[in-house]
Amino acid sequence: MDEIVKQALTKWPKVPACYGWLGLDARGNWYLRDDSAQAQGPFSAGLAQSKGDRLEHSRLLEFIARNYEHDASGQWFFQNGPQRVYVELEISPFIWHLDADLTLHSHTGRAARVQGAVLDEQGRLYLQTDIGFGLVHSMDMGHAANAVERGLWLPEPALCAGLPARFGYVLSPQARQLKAT
């Protein structure tokens, strides 16, 4: 986490959290979701109208990546100064990118080491790593298939709907917040 963010947290410790305004899709793209986008449905539905506006400013994306964390209940957030902005996940908290040599890094640029693999009913490959759980980016499935074929990764079958509970993450902190109130 950035030092300036830590300082803001100390200076303003009681800023209310924000829900529903930031989303992460299955390709590792960040979306800003205004009221109109939120009214169109949940982010996890993957519908263009409910996603919002894709963020493309490189410095903003770098800032989000450096300050992307999770809380004890498995809700992922971006710490934006003193405000915690909970992230709506389309599918998982990380999107993995693979190089030809199977070097693994997340959509936030963090390096990771594979600890296990899961294949869902739609043929999507997920990796459990030393930094968390996530989906392999569709453009990197060729490299991932090579790892599976060589026996480096032995994917377990699993249903996509059960992955959040099994791996301890929350797809929609906003929906969880609304149920709690």
In this structure, what CATH number is given to the domain that contains residue 75?
3.10.540
* pLDDT for position 45: 83
CA distance 24 to 68: 11
Looking at the fold, whether 106 and 77 belong to one and the same domain comes out as no
The verdict on 64 and 49 lying in the same domain is: yes
7 lies in the same domain as 87: yes
pLDDT tier at 124, thresholds 50, 70, 90: very high
Q: Is the pLDDT of residue 9 over 80?
A: no
Q: How much is the pLDDT for 4?
A: 78
pLDDT at site 2: 77
Domain count within the chain:
2
Q: In the prediction, which pLDDT does 47 show?
A: 82
Confidence band for 87, pLDDT divided at 50, 70 and 90: very high
Q: Over the chain, what is the mean pLDDT? A: 94
Residues 122 and 174 in one domain: no
pTM equals 0.92
pLDDT digits (tens, 9 = 90+) for 94-111: 999 999 999 999 999 999
DSSP string, 66-87: HTEEE-TTS-EEEEETTEEEEE
27 plus 83 within the same structural domain = yes
What value does the mean pLDDT take over residues 151-167? 97
Q: What is the mean pLDDT of residues 142-166?
A: 97
| Interval 28-74: pLDDT, tens | 999 999 999 999 999 988 788 899 999 999 999 999 999 999 999 99
Q: In terms of domains, do 84 and 173 share one?
A: yes
Q: Are residues 11 and 53 in the same domain?
A: yes
Q: What pLDDT sits at residue 23?
A: 97
- Cβ 181 vs Cβ 85: under 8 Å: no
Same domain, 47 and 135: no
Residue 1 has pLDDT above 80, yes or no: no
Q: Which domain holds residue 126?
A: 94-163
Both 19 and 81 in a single domain? yes
Cα 4 from Cα 44, distance rounded (Å): 31
Q: Do 7 and 44 fall within a single domain?
A: yes
Shared domain for 73 and 119, answered yes or no, is: no
- Rounded to an integer, what distance in angstroms lies between the CA atom of residue 83 and that of residue 85? 6
Claim to verify: residue 136 and residue 175 sit in the same structural domain: no
